[in-house]
Structure 1
Amino acid sequence: MNWFNKVRNRIPFISKRSTEDTLWHKCRDCDQMIFIKEYEENQSVCPECGFHGRIGPMKRFLHLFDEHSWEVLASPKVKEDPLKFRDQKKYIDRLKAARAATGESDAFLNAKGTIHGKDAIIGVQDFAFMGGSMGLAVGEAFVRGARAAIAAQCPYIVFTASGGARMQEGALSLMQMPKMTVAVEELREAGLPYIVVLTDPTSGGVMASYAMLGDVQIAEPKALLAFTGRRVIENTIREKLPDNFQSAEYLLEHGALDMIVARADLRDTLGKLIDYMTPARAAA
């Protein structure tokens, strides 16, 4: 920031003008500048290249559930900062900053409602909360969402978006992987669908566990989906990987996904899947 801007920002009677950041959004894929109102009206999808931007839980719920049919489920209380971790900042301070920025208690939120009149519970991982990292609160929220679906005898639909395990919780974060895998098995034993929608980005321990255990695996277009970084894999196998190696399109082509669905079509697609996968309940 130059000297003039520093002075201007400190003068109380000069109002700050709207900057390009408040009026325009730059697409992360094609670098196109998009009028922010147009971008938001298009569900945060680039109208030029179709890249699907990151959105939080509340927008997901609004887009997917029938109007006025849904309610957010209470977030679980877990022990905060169990390791008293500190890097450049205290972990507890990072949590406070993330909560202030997102308005949520942690990186995973569940809601119960209907999609085309059919009951469903949706869990959404929020990348805006510390990169959607998986810790104690995320693991507990996932388990409670799965058990709420069992209690309601309805599908559990999970949207993943994460950089992986939360380093500030060490081995405790990694322990969430088997914990959530057990919750998925509980859904299967109850005969209920577990549907996963992978969004940009999904990686690390999340990609290595519950993100790839769905009865149906869906992804949004052009989503980055990876267990670890390209350079790490190339150095390990000593081979050059294709440019689109970690894209949703590559995974679909090689059988790791069932379908890629644009955000505008997700609601209808999920409604059809619920009908197909719960025929007895749909008839009742």
Structure 2
Amino acid sequence: MAVAINSDGADVVAGQVADDRHPALSRWSVPGLSPLPGPDPCPLTPHGDICNVLTRSEHGLLAVAGIRTQHLVVLDAATGGTGTTPVEGHVLWAELAGSLLASSGTRTEILDLATNRLVWRQAPPAPPPPSHTNMVPLITFRPDRRAFAVGGSGDPSVLVYPLTAAGPPHVADPAATLSGAPERLRWLGFGPTGKYLIAVDAYAKRTVVWQSGETEPHLEDVFGENADDHWCVAFHPDGEHCALGMLFGYINLYRLSDGELVDSQQQHASRVNTLAFTPDGSLLLSGGDDGKLLVWPVD
């Protein structure tokens, strides 16, 4: 399961397994989880496809791809429609920031949807490991959109690049090289203030945190190899706390400054696949392999 919450926190789009009764995408009100119309028609295969990529911009755009088709479709989150397919080839990861679309799969690149301009492309591309063709480099934008980070390319580092707003695709050298990263990633993302960056190992063996201005991992004795079995992440809007979903149904809440475990609850019967805070930070949404989408209060 995957979720993408609206910027005002009023509704959430959920991605799940498509079957004869349910499409792979549905839309729900928050916090009551009453069904809402759209997006319709669902762009994913109606029978047996699984929503693998789901990301939403603050302007209401939704980028989605399934495990079977792996073709990225960008559409209006509320109304749906036929959508557009701005990226060629297969897509296994995507992130939207305004009109900027970062995607990775056949290629790892950033596209400006407003101008159809290629902003950046990884060259040469980083090939996936032969036995795990779904492991591709991941891209994430810093909240101020002055930089982006790329990790999971097969080496133990995350590269932070300046984001060029105009001109041809830039080939600038990285502004920073963050060490101690997992070579392959499941998740990569900046917090809402840009103070912290978190990477989750593709094999759920490590969770690594970096603090702004530092290139070595933050609190490696707390996170790192001591923070295994994590599968998904959501930053609290204050930028100082995060939720980590685990393989065994638990959700851990951490204070990032000192690594304090603030709370730990078993909300799902099996793996937690996705987490999202409402913009005011009062609610946390979680989805898991057990097919449940839950909303629970956060103190």
Superposed pair shares fold, TM > 0.5: no
Structure in which a larger fraction of residues adopt helix: 1
Q: Who wins on radius of gyration, i.e. which is larger?
A: 1
Return the TM-score normalized by structure 2: 0.30
